[in-house]
Amino acid sequence: MKKLINSPDNVVTEALQGMELAHPDLLKVHYNPHFITRATPVKNKVAIISGGGSGHEPMHGGFVGLGMLDAACPGAVFTSPTPDQMEAATKAVAGEKGALLIVKNYTGDVMNFELAADLVRAEDIPVESVIIDDDVAVQDSTWTAGRRGVGATVLAEKICGAAAEHGQSLADVSALCKRVNGEARSMGMALTSCTVPHIGKPTFDLPADEMEIGVGIHGEPGRRRAKLLPADEIVELLVEPILKDLPFKSGDEVLLFVNGLGGTPLIELYIVYRKAAELLQKAGLKITRNLVGSYITSLEMAGTAITLLKLDGELTKLWDAPVLTPALRKGI
């Protein structure tokens, strides 16, 4: 294992200490239990809180700030955070309008957030949870833990964050979050595996001339292993199942999000974007907004994931609203 770390045991804490030092104007990091809040919490609105295993940076801590999250709870690498973290974070940032917990659909995350919501409700703080499950790679939802939460999480956090800043109620922001999840679909692929620091060896073996189509953000196996292909053909394999899954129709406006999984350079992501844009145009879709970069990663995994969100006037307005976080800032 070749990593820029001091000790596998200290990876999460030392990274949080670095984030705190780098962004004192935006963030405050709390320890034991670990959670990140805005430098100055705002309590007169619905609080948007998310969390998950570490190793997906900048998600979620990098999205804490004006127009996006109020708090984020980082777990151990690829391991869900615990309910005491969510409880402490919610108490620190939620006011009378309550809190929305945005949860990615992984067994551990769902259970820990469910216990956390019970703890918070017992304190008379209104709380709703919405589960994000946009990964079309999972075809068999009946006999698996269901579709995983991936790229739509970033879009939902941005859009719900804006709605909360505009003063929307908990019920409205929660319904909006479900709508974003319902209108978004994602599919990813890996060129290489990643290595979890405390395990020390690659999560899966992938020969030099093969790729995993439909990989999950923790290296979960995808739809199939295949021989490596040129980028354009890979993008076809990702876009086709997305278009098939959601009834996008000609004339629809969409947000195209091309995400890097951590080990893929931006130059390659733009090659992916180029082909994805061409395919969407052929399908009659209008890309009116986009996001290109590594926003939801799997440590150093090389690969990409494409997320498509169907837009309307309201979603577009909320996407365009100002945001000021370590990882995403625009309109300010």
What is the DSSP-derived secondary structure letter of residue 148? P
By C-beta, is 168 or 203 nearer to another protein? 203
Q: How far is CA 211 from the centre of its chain?
A: 22
By C-beta, is 71 or 162 nearer to another protein? 71
Per the document, the length of the chain is 332
Angle at 161 between CA 17 and CA 19, to 5 degrees: 10
**218 is a catalytic site residue:** yes
CA distance 205 to 179: 37
* CB 38 within 8 Å of CB 164: no
Residues 76, 101, 271, 291: which binds another protein (CB under 8 A)?
76
Q: Strand ranges (DSSP E) for 55-203?
A: 71-77, 99-104, 127-132, 184-190
Residue 300 found at the interface with another protein (CB under 8 A): no
Residue 202 found at the interface with another protein (CB under 8 A): no
Residue found under tokens 């070749």: 2
CB of 99 to another protein, least distance (A): 20
Catalytic residue among 30, 56, 60, 198: 56
Residue 290 found at the interface with another protein (CB under 8 A): no
By C-beta, is 30 or 317 nearer to another protein? 30
Site residue total, another protein (CB under 8 A):
32
Task: Tell me which residues in 87-116 interact with another protein (CB under 8 A).
Answer: 106-108, 111-112, 114-115
Residue 203 found at the interface with another protein (CB under 8 A): yes
Residues 67, 75, 188, 260: which binds another protein (CB under 8 A)?
75
**56 is a catalytic site residue:** yes
Residue 298: which of 132, 112, 150, 144 has the closest Cα? Answer: 150
Residues 220, 255, 263, 272: which binds another protein (CB under 8 A)?
220
136 Cβ contact list (under 8 Å, min separation 6): 147, 185, 186, 187, 241, 242, 245
The tokens for 72 are 């984020």
CB of 241 to another protein, least distance (A): 16
Torsion of CA 240, 242, 244, 246, to 10 degrees: -160
Per CB under 8 A, residues contacting another protein are: 33, 75-76, 78-84, 106-108, 111-112, 114-115, 138, 140, 143-145, 148, 196, 198-199, 203, 216, 218-221
Catalytically active residues are 56, 218
